[in-house]
Amino acid sequence: MKIEIDIAKILRDNNNFYILTHKSPDGDTLGSAAALCLALQKMGKNSKILCSDEIPKKYEFLFEHVKNQNFEPGYIISVDVADTQLLGENLSCYADRVDLCIDHHLMNQQFARISYVESGFAATAEIIYEIINALGVTIDADIANCIYTGISTDTGCFRHSNATSHSYRVAADMIDRGAKAFEINKIMFDTKSRAKLSLEKIALESLEFFCGNKCAMITLTNDEIMRSGARSSDFDGLSAIPRQIEGVLIGVFIKEEQTGMFKVSIRTDAAIDASEICANFNGGGHRCAAGCTICGDLADVKKGIILQIERYMRDAEV
Amino acid sequence: MKIEIDIAKILRDNNNFYILTHKSPDGDTLGSAAALCLALQKMGKNSKILCSDEIPKKYEFLFEHVKNQNFEPGYIISVDVADTQLLGENLSCYADRVDLCIDHHLMNQQFARISYVESGFAATAEIIYEIINALGVTIDADIANCIYTGISTDTGCFRHSNATSHSYRVAADMIDRGAKAFEINKIMFDTKSRAKLSLEKIALESLEFFCGNKCAMITLTNDEIMRSGARSSDFDGLSAIPRQIEGVLIGVFIKEEQTGMFKVSIRTDAAIDASEICANFNGGGHRCAAGCTICGDLADVKKGIILQIERYMRDAEV
C-alpha cells in the first residue's frame, strides 16, 4: 500500500489540525501548508497554519481563501521542516508533539511520531499533491496556486538541479486546474525592491577577478548594506552572481554580518569542491555551495580566501 | 486525422531535407531544427540545417550529434519562421521554395506550400515533438536536449505567460528521455558575459524614477555601450529591468542605436497600454511591451517620453 493512502486515512480519522511551517518561511513550506489546510477545510475539518516568523508579503496571496479558525490542537503536522530547531522560537513548544512530519529533506531528523519524507521530490508541495489526491479532495484553483508556488520556488522556477519530471508534471496539472503560473512567477522571480537593486549595483561595483579570471568576488560591507536600506530577503540570489559570469569556476560573495565579522559564500563549478575550501576556515556545505565565517578586516579576509583558493586550484590542477 | 500524421507521411515520402531557421537564431528555431534533423537522419534520410547568421556559441551543443551531409535540396522545411523576411539575406533564395512551414507564431504569413502553424504552443519545439512522435522515431537524449532547449528558451524558463501545461508535460517527457535540463538552463539563463555585467552596472547607475515612482527609466549611450564591450546578445533582458522594480508600472529602457538615434523600449503593467504611449512617436507593439525610435539628444528624448507617460497616466487616472 502506498504511504499517501495511509496518511490520507490518518487525516480522515483525525481533526483540529495545527500545520507547522519552518521559520524564515519560504514558498514551499507556506504553499504546502496552505494547500493542505485548504484541503482539510474542504473536508469540513478544523485546520490552521502556524509560523514562528512573520509571513513575507509576497506570500500573503496563498492564504486568501484559508478560513481563520480557532481551536485547541488535536493533531499536529509539520510541513517542509527537517529539524525541530527550524520550527523557530514561537513554535518550539510543539517540538515534541508533532504527530506527522511531511518533508522532502534528505537529512530529516525523524522527530515526529510518523514521518513521510520523500527526498526524491524537489518540493514538499509535490508530496502534499499526492496526499490531497489520496484524500480524494478535488484540487481547485486556490489549492493549485499553493502547490505550484511550492514547486516553483523550491526549484528556482525549474532552474535548479532538483527539478524532476515529477515536478514538471505536477506543475502542468496545477496549471490545468487553474494555477496562475505566470502571475506567481512574476511575484516570486521578476520583482525586485529598490533596495535590492541598489544592493546589486553596489555589489557589482566591488567585482574583482582572481586566478586568471577563474575566480570572481563581490563584497558588501556593513556601511554599504545600511546605505542600500536592504532587508534580509533582498540578499537572495546575490551569492550566485559571481559564479554566473562566463568562464568563472569559483564565485565568492563576502558580506559583513557584524562589524569585522564576514560571512563568505562560495559557489563553484562541479569540478571544484567549495566545501573543501571553506573547511580551511571551519566552514562547510556542499560541493558546489559552501560557506564560512571569518573575522578581521575586509582586506585580510579577502586575502585569506584568495590564498586558499589559489592553493586549491594549484593542487587540483584546475 | 491529426495534422501531425499527415506531416509524418509527407516526411516519410520525401528525402534530402533542407531545414531553414530564422535569422538572429534563438533556442527555439535552432532546437526545433536540430531535433527534426536528428529524427530524419535516424530514419536514414539526408537532412541539413541552414541559418543565415552565425550560430551563437551557447547553442553549439545542439548540433553535436547532427551528421554533416552535403546534397542538393529535395524538400525544404522552415521551422519557427513567421515570415520569409526572417529567413535573412543568406537564405532569401529559398523564400519562394519552402515546401513545409512549421511554426507557432499567430501572425505566420502562410508563405509555404503547406503550413503547420499551432499558435497555442509556446514553442515550435512542441510541434516538432508531436511530429517526431507521429513519425514513430524514438526520442533519444540528443533529440530531447534540442526539444527541451526550444521550450525552455521560448518560455524564459517557464516564466513567460505563453507557457502552457503542454509545455511543462513535453519538458517532463524530455527529462525522462535524458534531457539535461539543469545544464541547459544554466547555459541559457545563468551565464553572463563580463560585458553584460558591465552593461547592467552602467544601466543601473542611470536609473531614475518619475511619476511618483510609478515609472522607472534606464539609459545606455553609445559611449557607454562601447566602453562595456557588449555584443548584441548582451542586451537580452535589459529592457525588463526597470519594470521589475517593486511598485513600478512603467519601465523605460533607452538605448542609443546610432549617434543621436535612440531606441526606446517600454514595458508596462497590464493596466497601462505601452503601445499607445509609443504611438506618439510612430512606434508600436503590444499592450505590455512596445517600442519606438526617437532622434535628438538624450535629455530631449527622455523629456519627450516622460511627458507622454505623464499625460497617459493623467488621462488614464492610473
pLDDT in tens, A4-15: 889 999 999 999
Report CB contact under 8 Å: A172, B194: no
For residue A207, give the nearest of B200, B190, B226 by alpha carbon.
Answer: B200
Q: Which residues of A touch B165 (CB under 8 A)?
A: 171-173, 175-176
Tell me the torsion sign for CA atoms A120, B148, B136, B141: negative
CA atoms within 13 A on the CB side of A95: 13
CA A253 to chain centre: 19
Q: Which residues of A77-116 are buried (b: 16+ CB within 10 A; e: fewer)?
A: bbbbbbebebbbeebeebeeebbbbbbbbeebbebbeebb
Average pLDDT over residues B136-153: 98
A193, A197, A243: best mutation site toward chain B, by most B Cβ within 10 Å? A197
Residue B253 dihedral angles phi and psi, to the nearest 5°: -125, 120
- Backbone φ and ψ for A290, nearest 5 degrees, come out as -145, 170
Q: How far is A136 from chain B (nearest CA, A)?
A: 22
Q: How confident is the model over A25-29, as a mean pLDDT?
A: 96
At residue A85, does pLDDT exceed 90?
A: yes
Please give the helix or strand (H or E) that residue A39 lies within, else none: helix A27-42
A230 touches A221 (CB < 8 A): no
Distance (Å) from the C-alpha of residue B188 to the closest C-alpha of chain A?
A: 10
Looking at residue B94, its pLDDT comes to 98
Q: Residues in chain A whose beta carbon is closer than 8 A to a beta carbon of chain B? A: 152, 157-161, 163-166, 168-169, 171-173, 175-176, 181-182, 185-186, 189-194, 197, 200-201, 204-205, 207, 240, 244-246
Sheet strands side by side (includes A208-210): A208-210, A215-220, A250-258, A261-268, A289-295, A284-285
Segment A120-136, tens digit of pLDDT? 999 999 999 999 999 99
Pair B76, B113: CB distance under 8 Å: no
- B236, burial (CB in 10 Å: exposed 0-12, middle 13-18, buried 19+): exposed
To the nearest whole angstrom, how far is the Cα of A46 from the nearest Cα of chain B?
33
> Pick from A163, A205, A244: which is nearest to B192 by CB?
A244
C-alpha distances in Å from residue A248, one per residue of A199, A214, A230, A270: 21, 4, 27, 12
CB atoms A181 and B163 under 8 Å: yes
Whether A233 shows a pLDDT value over 80: the answer reads no
* pLDDT higher than threshold 90 for residue B265: yes
Closest partner CB to B205 (pick from A152, A168, A201) = A201
Q: What does DSSP say about strands B100-103 and B75-79: parallel, antiparallel, or unpaired?
A: parallel
CB B158 within 8 A of CB B152: yes
pLDDT at A107: 87
* Residue A1: per-residue pLDDT: 52
Whether residue A204 and residue B191 make contact (CB cut-off 8 A), yes or no, is: no
- Pairwise CB contact (< 8 Å): A168 & B165: no
C-beta of residue B62 within 8 angstroms of C-beta of residue B30? yes
Collapsing DSSP to helix, strand or coil, B297 comes out as: coil
Angle at A232 between CA A157 and CA A35, to 5 degrees: 45
What is the C-alpha separation between B63 and B52, in angstroms, rounded?
A: 16
Distance, in angstroms, between A142 CA and closest chain B CA? 17
ipTM above 0.95, yes or no: no
Contact flag B190-A245 (C-beta cutoff 8 Å): no
What is the spatial distance between Cα B172 and Cα B195, in angstroms, rounded to a whole number?
34
What is the DSSP-derived secondary structure letter of residue B245?
Answer: B
Is the pLDDT score of A231 beyond 90? no
* Closest chain A C-alpha to B215 CA, distance in angstroms: 13
DSSP 8-state symbol, B182 = H
pLDDT at site B62:
98
